[in-house]
Structure 1
Amino acid sequence: MRSRQASQGVRRAREFEAFVAGAAGRLLHAATLLTAEAPDDNPRARRLLTLSLGHTYACWDRLRGEDPYNRTRQYLATRFARTAWHQYGAFGRGRPHPGAALAGLGPQERLILVLRLYEGVAEEQTAALLGLPPDRVRAICDRATTNLLHPPPERPRRAFGAKVAHP
């Protein structure tokens, strides 16, 4: 009995290692796009990936034919969505890296754009995953794409309390 459990544990570990070897690079890139960090300096993306892979490993035996990549991507996306407020919201931590590809977009726009365009997830699946209507997902994706292709001009910054002269 013990040798059978041990061999199952070894088999499980090998299967998971093979999965990670094939999928971790793409998932890390997706996480880096989500967090808008520099590709060579992405601690939040690495943490997000580690948590997602840990979750997948914990339920590896219960997948029963389910795609482990899809499960990991779903967890990565929902984990990012849940923590986006703390990382990018009112507390101001985790500002996007100015040179990141998606730095000009908000967290929700990045999430939808990465799922739809980078990962190729269908609009309906993205909407179901995020709990949004498909029309809203389409509108956010269209706006994010437009902002990437045609960024709005930056407004000049002024000192706090400075008055603006009107012509």
Structure 2
Amino acid sequence: MRQRQASQGARRAREFEAFVAGAAGRLLHAATLLTAEAPDDNPRARRLLTLALAHTYARWHRLRGEDPYDHTRQYLATRFARAAWHQYGGLGRARPHPDSALAVLAPQERLILVLRLYEGVAEAQTAALLGLPTERVRTICDRATATLLHPPRGPAPAVVPTKVVSS
């Protein structure tokens, strides 16, 4: 009995290691986009990914036919949304890395944009995952895309009066 359990445990570990080897890079990139950190300095994204992978590993034997990547991505997204809600009193503005292209977006906008455009999750699935109406997801995604394509202008430069030299 113990030998069979040990064998099943080893097989489970090998399957999970193979999954992580194939999926961790893409999931880390998605987490880095969500947190709007620099790719080479992303401790929040790494923590988010670690928590999502630990959750998936804990449920590995119960997934039975479920896509482990989809399961991990869903947990990553909901964990990010929950953290943003608790940390910033709603999905308000966080302090992302200033060099990030997604730094101009609010966390909810980043979440929807990453799920829809980077991960290719359908509008209806995104809406169901986040508990929002489909129209709201569409509107937020459109607004976030427009913001990225046409970033808000900074303040106008200050006008410095020049001295006029009379001759």
Could you say whether these structures have the same fold, taking a TM-score greater than 0.5 normalized by the shorter chain as the test?
A: yes
Contact 1:34 1:114 in 2 (8 A): yes
2:46 aligned with 1:46, yes or no?
yes
Offset, 1:65 = 0.5
1:127-153 alpha-carbon deviations (Å, 9 max, x no partner): 000000000000000000000000011
What corresponds to 2:137 in structure 1? Answer: 137
What corresponds to 1:83 in structure 2? Answer: 83
What corresponds to 2:108 in structure 1? Answer: 108
Offset, 1:49 = 0.1
Offset, 1:93 = 9.8
Contact 2:74 2:129 in 1 (8 A): yes
Structure 2 distance, partners of 1:93, 1:107, is: 6
What corresponds to 2:26 in structure 1? Answer: 26
After the TM superposition, which residues 55-66 of structure 1 pair with which residues of structure 2 at under 5 Å, given as runs? 55-66=55-66
Contact 2:27 2:73 in 1 (8 A): yes
Offset, 1:85 = 2.7
Once superposed, which parts of structure 1, at least 4 consecutive aligned residues long, lie more than 3 Å away? 86-90
What corresponds to 1:98 in structure 2? Answer: 98
Unaligned runs of 5+ in 1: 157-167
SS at match of 1:18: helix
Offset, 1:94 = 5.7
Distance 1:142 1:24, change over 3 A: same
The letter of the residue matching 2:98 is P
The letter of the residue matching 2:37 is E
Structure 2 distance, partners of 1:22, 1:84, is: 28
1:32-89 alpha-carbon deviations (Å, 9 max, x no partner): 0000000000000000000000000000000000000000000000000001134445
- State the superposition RMSD in angstroms: 1.8
What corresponds to 1:69 in structure 2? Answer: 69
2:111 aligned with 1:124, yes or no?
no
SS at match of 2:98: coil
Structure 1 distance, partners of 2:101, 2:79, is: 21
Structure 2 distance, partners of 1:94, 1:144, is: 15
Contact 2:93 2:107 in 1 (8 A): no
Structure 1 distance, partners of 2:106, 2:56, is: 27
TM-score, normalising length from structure 2?
Answer: 0.89
What corresponds to 2:16 in structure 1? Answer: 16
TM-score, normalising length from structure 1?
Answer: 0.89
Give aligned pairs, total.
156
Give percent identity, aligned residues only: 84
The letter of the residue matching 2:79 is R
